[in-house]
Structure 1
Amino acid sequence: MRTRDHRGFSQPHDDKKMAKDFERMEDSNPSANPTIHEVSDPKRRVFVRGGLAAAVAGLFGPLVAGTLAGCATTPSGSPVSSLGRAIGFKSVPMAAVDRIVVPEGYSAQVLYRWGDATGIAGRMPAFKADGSNTADEQALQAGMHHDGMAFFPLDGSNRGLLVLNHEYVDDGLLHPDGMKTWTAEKVRKSMNAHGVSVIELQREGAKWSQVLPSRFARRITALTPMTLTGPAAGHPMLRTAGDPTGTQVLGTYNNCSNGQTPWGTYLTCEENFADYFEGTGTPDAHQKRWGIKKGNGAKYRWHEHEARFDVAKHPNESNRYGWVVEIDPQDPASTPRKRTALGRAAHEGAATALTNDGRAVIYMGEDSRFEYIYKFVSRDKVQPGGAAANRELLDHGTLYVGRFDVDGTGEWLPLVQGRNGLVADKGFATQGDVLIKARQASDLLGATKMDRPEWTTVDPLTKEVYCTLTNNSNRGTPGQPFMDAANPRSSNTMGQIIRWKENGDLDATKFAWNHLVLAGDPKQSRYEAQGNIKGDAFGSPDGLMVDARGVLWIETDVSTSTLGKGEYANLPNNQMLACDPTQGEIRRFLLGPAGCEVTGLTATPDLRTLFINVQHPGEPANERSDPERPLAVSKWPDGAGRPRSATVAITKNDGGVIGT
């Protein structure tokens, strides 16, 4: 899930473009960290073998259901977890289609499309299919390119708030003439099409509808005032001419995956923020490490009318992005907070769980080539009383970065100033330095360079943690890091899902890990692209969620320049699959329309509705639409006008639990 006009790259084998694997900052890790391969047997490139592998695998065998957070129940009142993890639907066959395809006995309902009114009383402009809505109107409507989201119940499973990200925009669709002319109004409209929506939904019978108007309705955009909190707040690297305090920021954007806290707040993650900044021809070492370079600004051209995105004029502005932002969805007047204690990164997600004594643990990936997996453990326990009682919880705690060792064990390395070489003469005089320069700190500690860590999710029954490593075609190529145990394939076009179990409670610093699956297509001739899937083929895993009964849902994000081509010849559409992790079977549940990514995952507590997002339907291979031919690839969902990202509610026709 990234900015779309520069994602393709050449595979060393066939020069075809692959899944959303970008040139810009995917390879900005020049650290000399030894890879696992350099201290291991080259034969271990696909699996850790032998007695050790058996011992590690034993930790991930048939599992006993534990206590389910939230005590979700079925309509009959029994715990959802009592239904077990078994998958009961018939697999959907792969096909090139321009519609949503779900299994027999299921229905899909389109709910909230780009341009739909958010629901703010007295301010609900209608969508104009020619792209002529104004910037002010866009600030009151659904943004573009829906991504991560969460459902917050207000009345059991029948009414709640849906909070969702709007990652980026396609300017070819957003404006009547695309980018042929460029104005301050277009920049402002683009900024208002980013960010987050809060909408209210209700279910009557089998159908969902948006509550219009709603007192909760809210749009958060790239222009919404926000507060920086935590150890890095006020740091000199965060101070600008517009904000000499280093604590007040305008907006959030490139919001990819997300998190949902037990105290009722939403975590949105700022991912590829570097794509919006026009760098200089002579970037310093810090800018290089974060992919801030000349030419970036051409992608969105914000800097032409919004000077703070010009690095030459405002060198610190980019340091104010790349954070996890906490939002209280039940208080539309609240100020979003960028939680610096969780570290700065091209954040992909923030899966949240609790230790046995009630402290928050957040797992985060960074979706760039050879970047890292992080964990944050709060200092304090979660208090009763919701968001107000836990306002400072995420400002205090310990951030860790993961090292995945060849023997199937791993260690969380603390990113704490003054420890393990994170000292002043290495550029880390304060904890703020460590957090702002989390990549450099992780380089120094020797963390494992991963194949683009995407979404994370925690099994509520067992507290096992999963992370999608979506792909990395640079792995093992000349001049790039070689394969290692956690990232075992060269020119990794297909990706894998890694999982680990902490050595004790979730705050442990040691863990055991293995691969749930190496994605791929067994019909491919290249061994590294075949994978080891037990079930339906897929590649480039991205969205990930373990639901309340323990089923793992997997979404894919293969770029439009790659779908149906090369090693993805048999995979023309993106998809969603379900997995019973105790058995390993993976079964295809859904196909998305042409040119889309399937993303965003959340469910009602009773698991009778699953919400997903369809992002950028109709995206062409060059990843920017032609405004004169907006329907060239897809007519979804309206059949006319312009293709529109949208939220979809999936239900079972008999009213049962999804996936059974």
Structure 2
Amino acid sequence: MRKLLPLLSNNHAGGRSALTCRYRCGDACFHEVPNTSDNEYAGDVIAKAYSRRSMMRAAAVVTVAGTVGTSVALSQSGGTANAVEGAAAAAGSEGGQAARGLRFTSVAPNTADQVTIPEGYAQNVVIKWGDPILRGAPGFNPDKQTAAAQAGQFGYNNDFLSLLPLGGNYERQQLMVANHEYTDEVLMFKGYDAANPTREQVEIAWAAHGLSVVVVQEDHRSGKLTAVSRHQLNRRLHTTSEFRMAGPAAGSDLLKTSVDPTGTKVLGTLNNCAGGTTPWGTTLHGEENFNQYFANGGSVTEPVQAARLKRYGITGAASERKWERFDKRFDVAQEPNEANRFGYVVELDPYDPNSVPRKRTALGRFKHEAAQPRLTEDGRPVVYMGDDERFDYFYKFVSSKQMKKGNSRAAKEHNLTLLDEGTLYVAKLTGDSPAAEIDGTGKYPSDGQFDGTGVWIPLATGNVSHVEGFTAEEVYIFTRQAADKVGATKMDRPEDVEPSPRTGRVYVALTNNTDRGKPGKAEGATEANPRNLNKHGQILELAESFDDPAGDAFAWRLFLVAGDPNDPATYFAGFPKDKVSPISCPDNVAFDPHGNLWISTDGAQLGSHDGLFGVATAGERRGELKQFLTVPKGAETCGPIIQDKRVLVAVQHPGEIDGASVEKPASVWPDGPGKMVRPAVVSVWRKDGRNIGV
């Protein structure tokens, strides 16, 4: 029996079309890798910067098993030695059935131009790009788009979703918050000339970015959701909305511009990818590929500034969208600090339409995919975050403040400061196998697992830097370089990072990295990233002390190594591979009420459209992975929410196929032939009214 660690095609990366690479991230994978640091990563090298005591604490997380409330640990069979997880395991399977929550007929891989769902389920489109949500906003008219109209309509390319409860008189209503990551101008405007966009087109795109807050109405007979247009709580935030810089770097000289000499006010939020929902009722939104919006980084010659821009991928001359022609703040040659005001986690109070969202500098600046908090036993938030870049890192933030319960004004005001004070850490992983056994093919080492221990390296606490040669402000604003300095572990595009609400184990989606192990690249395979030319990705599982996630030690192993199950390099937590769905390029992750991990994919390279998958994390069927849906041609699956009665997904960039345009659409979803292709949110439920997957 394999011994498990006792543990608390098209040459575009990841199967994306060239059009996706162009508009999503500014062709990031065709540029030089921003991380050129020479950190050590051999599987048997111990971090020199850390004491024997720190490594012993990490090992203790691995070896302590059977101690209730001390750590999360797995037995050799994949069951649990912890009472909390033991209950989850008991509920995980019944007889020979699939894990509870995953009892549906798997959707077969396909290329249908639709949202394909399991037999016995139904769906509806909740809201689409351009649907009016604010009072006075007109209905969507593709031939009469204006910036003023778009500012009152649902934005483009919906990504992260959150559903929050509404009490009082709002019967069967919830508050939905959505990110709008980026715009596909060639799919939005007839006759679009990428070399010469008009001011109106640029201003429409500004208004189509950002965030939407929309009340949705539940149908009492099903899981159907309908957007409530022009509700008093509905809200749009976009590229010209006011945001506040908050936390220890707010007011820094590095954040001051000619328009904002205080360094505390910034217009807009850009490239909001995934996010999180806090226990105190706010939402978090990660600013990801912000670098692509800024022009003329290549013209900067001052060495320090040039190095800082390059580390964040701000190079070259004109930007793709040419925004710098209409607002000088997108030209780093004219406004060198404007780019420093993007790349943060934004916190929004969706219940207050008049609140000013805040960019939390204490959580660092990088390409934030998401940010999902949990609480320590004494009520302090711990936030996990990934930096979505080849060879970049994953992080956590531990607040120094305790959350206050209740809805009083004092409690709300206090909780809105929780993410401004604390310690920012970056992860360093050490494998437990000899380096010679990690050969880049995905072949398992002699102990049968890719696993090891890790430490959280502190970067800054409040106004105190823990990184030699960096001030605290520099750590928060140039976090990547601070993490380089301390020798963090380079990962294969860490995207969404989610802690299990049942077990406390943390799951990191590592989407892919086709540059790993390429001749001339900085780094080959490591135990946490064991495949060279990694095009399918993996999911990392790490365990900290169950009641003390604020600690500096953890154990880790690969929970899932994605790809064709017939490939010997794939792994599904030990579950039989002839009984799982094929999966490629994990991106966003979320948990259902049963403790199963649900995975949405981005750029799958197995010949099928992207989709949504559920996988059991505990019990006898741990590793059982089943596909729940696929999305239309050219689309990505985003923002999954799995409730008792419904699954919600954001169908992003349908029709985003090379050569597509408004005049020559590559998809007819969601409204059929002759209609504009539109990103949209979809709700799925069981026709018989029962809970999902039971």
TM score, norm. by length of structure 2: 0.82
Q: Secondary structure at the match of 1:39?
A: coil
In the other structure, the counterpart of 2:427 is: 402
- How far apart in 1 are the matches of 2:376 and 2:492? 28
Q: Measured at CA, do residues 321 and 93 of structure 1 come closer, stay the same or move farther in structure 2, by a change above 3 Å?
A: same
Q: Secondary structure at the match of 1:440?
A: helix
Q: 2:151 aligns with which of 117, 139, 151?
A: 139
Whether the aligned pair in 1 keeps the contact of 2:572 and 2:624 (CA below 8 Å) is no
Of the candidates 628, 636, 639, which is equivalent to residue 589 of structure 1?
628
Q: Is the 8 A contact 1:26 1:368 kept in 2?
A: no
Residue 536 of structure 2: SS of its match in structure 1?
A: coil
Tell me the equivalent position of 1:448: 489
Cα deviation for residue 133 of structure 1 reads 1.1
Q: Deviations over 1:191-239 (max 9, x none)?
A: 1000010000111222322223211000010111011010000111111
Q: Distance in 1 between matches of 2:498 and 2:466?
A: 31
Alignment of 1:426-575 (within 5 A): 426=469, 428-429=470-471, 431-480=472-521, 481-504=523-546, 505-523=548-566, 535-558=580-603, 568=605, 570-575=606-611
Q: Which residue of 1 aligns with 2:663?
A: 628
Kindly report which structure 2 residues correspond to 1:187-586, keeping only aligned pairs within 5 A, or say none.
187-204=202-219, 205-206=221-222, 207-283=224-300, 284-295=306-317, 297-386=318-407, 387-407=412-432, 408-416=452-460, 422-423=467-468, 426=469, 428-429=470-471, 431-480=472-521, 481-504=523-546, 505-523=548-566, 535-558=580-603, 568=605, 570-582=606-618, 583-586=622-625
| Pairing of 1:27-46 with structure 2 (within 5 A) | 27-37=33-43, 39=45
CA distance in 2, matches of 1:113, 1:187: 20
Q: Distance in 1 between matches of 2:270 and 2:13?
A: 30
User: CA distance change for structure 1 residues 305 and 15 in 2, over 3 Å: closer, same or farther?
Assistant: closer
Output one character per residue of 1:5-32: Cα deviation in whole Å (capped at 9) or x when no partner: xx975689x9998996832667100111
1:271-310 deviation line (CA, Å, top 9, x unaligned): 0000000023344111111111114x43121111111001
Tell me which residue corresponds to 1:610: 647
- Which of residues 647, 652, 658 is equivalent to 2:681? 647
Q: Determine the C-alpha separation between the residues in 2 that align with 1:643 and 1:203.
A: 26
Tell me if the contact between 2:99 and 2:616 (Cα under 8 Å) persists in the aligned partners.
Answer: no
What's the secondary structure of 1:160's corresponding residue? strand
Which of 169, 183, 197 matches 1:169?
183
In structure 1, give the amino acid aligned to 2:649: I
Runs (5+) with no aligned partner, structure 2: 1-8, 22-26, 47-61, 66-72, 87-97, 301-305, 433-451
In 1, are the aligned partners of 2:560 and 2:571 still within 8 Å (CA)? no
TM-score after normalising by structure 1: 0.86
Contact 1:25 1:368 in 2 (8 A): no
Asked whether 1:61 is paired with 2:78, we answer yes
Task: Describe the SS at the equivalent of 1:415.
Answer: strand
| Unaligned segments of structure 1, at least 5 residues | 1-6, 41-51, 69-82
Pairwise CA distance, 1:146? 0.6
Aligned to 1:76: none
Per-residue CA deviations over 1:380-426 (Å, capped at 9, x if unaligned) read 11112354341211110111101111121111111127989613xx2
Task: Letter of the 2:531 partner, please give it.
Answer: R
CA distance in 2, matches of 1:447, 1:600: 28
Q: In structure 1, what is the Cα distance between the partners aligned to 2:202 and 2:16?
A: 35
User: Aligned letter for 1:401?
Assistant: V
The alpha-carbon distance between structure 1 residues 15 and 311, as it changes in their structure 2 partners (threshold 3 A), is closer
Q: What amino acid maps onto 2:527 in structure 1?
A: A
| Residue 179 in structure 1 maps to residue 204 in structure 2 | no
User: 1:92 is paired with a residue of what secondary structure?
Assistant: coil
Q: Find the residue that maps to 1:422 and give its secondary structure.
A: coil
1:582-632 superposed Cα distances (whole Å, 9 cap, x missing partner): 21110111011111001111244xx2122111001111136xx42321x23
RMSD: 2.9
| Cα drift, residue 57 of structure 1 | 5.6
Q: What is the percentage of aligned positions where both structures have the same residue?
A: 39
CA 1:344–1:612: 2 relative to 1, 3 Å: same
Cα 1:333–1:654, aligned 2, differ >3 Å: closer, same or farther?
Answer: same
CA distance in 2, matches of 1:60, 1:470: 27
- Rate the CA distance shift 1:157–1:285 in 2: closer, same or farther, 3 A: farther
Q: Are residues 67 and 522 of structure 1, via their aligned partners in 2, closer, same or farther at CA, if it must alter by over 3 Å?
A: closer
Aligned-partner Cα distance in 2 for 1:585–1:213:
43
- Give deviations 1:541-584, integer Å, cap 9, x for gaps: 101001222011111100xxxx6xxxx3x432111111011211
Cα distance in 2, alignment partners of residues 634 and 362 from structure 1: 39
Cα distance per residue 1:448-476 (max 9 Å; x no partner): 00000011111111111101000000101
| Distance change >3 Å, CA 15–CA 38, structure 1 → 2 | farther
- Kindly provide the amino acid, as one letter, of the partner of residue 610 in structure 1: V
- Asked whether the 8 Å contact 1:183–1:305 carries over to 2, the reply is no
Following the alignment from structure 1 to structure 2, what is the Cα–Cα distance between the partners of residues 420 and 265?
A: 28
SS in 2 for 1:514: strand
In the aligned structure 1, how far is the partner of 2:280 from the partner of 2:155? 26
The question of whether the paired residues in 1 share the 8 Å contact of 2:645 and 2:692 is answered with yes
Q: State the shift of 1:182 in Å.
A: 1.8
Q: 1:60 to 1:215 in 2, by over 3 A?
A: farther
Query: Alpha carbons of 1:15 and 1:543: their partners in 2 closer, same or farther (altered >3 Å)?
Result: closer
Q: Distance in 2 between matches of 1:280 and 1:263?
A: 39
Q: Say if 1:117 and 1:19 are closer, same or farther in 2 by CA, change over 3 A.
A: closer
CA contact under 8 A between 2:460 and 2:466: conserved in structure 1?
no
- Structure 1 residue matching 2:28: 3-state secondary structure: coil
| Counterpart secondary structure, 1:281 | helix
Cα distance in 2 for residues equivalent to 1:36 and 1:140: 53
Q: 2:172 matched to 1:158?
A: yes
Change beyond 3 A, Cα 1:402–1:143: same
1:475-502 CA deviation, whole Å, 9 max, x = no partner? 0111221111110100000000001010
Q: Which amino acid aligns with 1:642?
A: M
Provide Cα deviations, 1:427-465, integer angstroms capped at 9, x if missing partner: x13x11111111011011111000000111111111111
Change (3 A) 1:18 1:230: same
CA 1:447–1:18: 2 relative to 1, 3 Å: farther
Counterpart-to-counterpart distance in 2, 1:596 and 1:65: 41
1: CA distance, partners of 2:266 / 2:594:
40
SS at match of 2:517: coil
